[in-house]
Amino acid sequence: MEKLLKTLKERFDTYHTFYESVKWDEISKRIIKNQALIKTLLSLEEMGNEPTFIRLPNGELSFVTLSKESPLNSRSFCYDHDALNKRKEHKPLDSALNYAAQFGARLVNEEEYNMLQKMRKIDEKTSSWLLTPPSIRSKGGALFAERRYDRLFVGANSAESYYSSRGVRLIVPLGDN
């Protein structure tokens, strides 16, 4: 756990301009009190997702997966369980929403993804599913985003689609400990 806390602190220091009023001591105390959070952060770190502290636009204190590209084990998912069930052939192993739920997390939304791109250039070779509004999902679609040509692009696919380079960006709440 010492190694994890050291790594998280280094990332905290790297991105501190995005949450200047937050102190690391407060965050580390809350991490240490929450065994489920420690387990989640360790798993995400071991898989190469680079969990990084963030203050979301709504003020919520959380961790986000901020690896430059989505790691291989965090890719090739369709959007949700319904999409997974509709696939008759060449089913992916899981869906993005199911994957997120395994960690007590959720996908980032479009506003949060834009914020992440200001923190670090991500998804220049991969893309990430975004939390999709019900108005789009009810029509069979799901949102994704990526950075290409030094620009941010948000697009839509059918929720059943999946690509070897499409991953997920997770939000893991810090909790109220």
Question: For the chain, which domains are there?
Answer: 2-173 (3.10.100.10)
Place 176 in a pLDDT band, splitting at 50, 70 and 90. low
Long-range contacts of 59-64 (CB under 8 A, 24+ apart): 60/173, 60/174, 61/22, 61/27, 61/173, 61/174, 62/171, 62/172, 62/173, 62/174, 63/171, 63/172, 63/174, 64/108, 64/112, 64/116, 64/169, 64/170, 64/171, 64/172
Q: Provide the residue type at 155 as one letter.
A: G
Mean local confidence (pLDDT), 142-169: 96
Q: Cα dihedral angle (156, 158, 164, 168), rounded to 10 degrees? A: 60
Place 26 in a pLDDT band, splitting at 50, 70 and 90. very high
Mean local confidence (pLDDT), 157-167: 95
- The string of pLDDT tens digits covering residues 75-106 is 999 999 999 999 888 989 899 999 999 999 99
- The string of pLDDT tens digits covering residues 100-146 is 999 999 999 999 999 999 999 999 999 999 999 999 999 999 999 99
- The string of pLDDT tens digits covering residues 47-75 is 999 999 999 989 999 999 999 999 999 99
Long-range contacts of 53-59 (CB under 8 A, 24+ apart): 53/8, 53/11, 53/12, 53/15, 53/19, 53/22, 53/27, 53/174, 54/15, 54/18, 54/19, 54/115, 54/116, 54/119, 54/171, 55/18, 55/19, 55/22, 56/112, 56/115, 56/171, 57/111, 57/112, 57/115
What's the pLDDT score for residue 175?
Answer: 78
What's the pLDDT score for residue 20?
Answer: 82
pLDDT at 177 over 70: no
* Average pLDDT value over all residues in the chain: 95
- The string of pLDDT tens digits covering residues 5-23 is 999 999 999 998 888 889 9
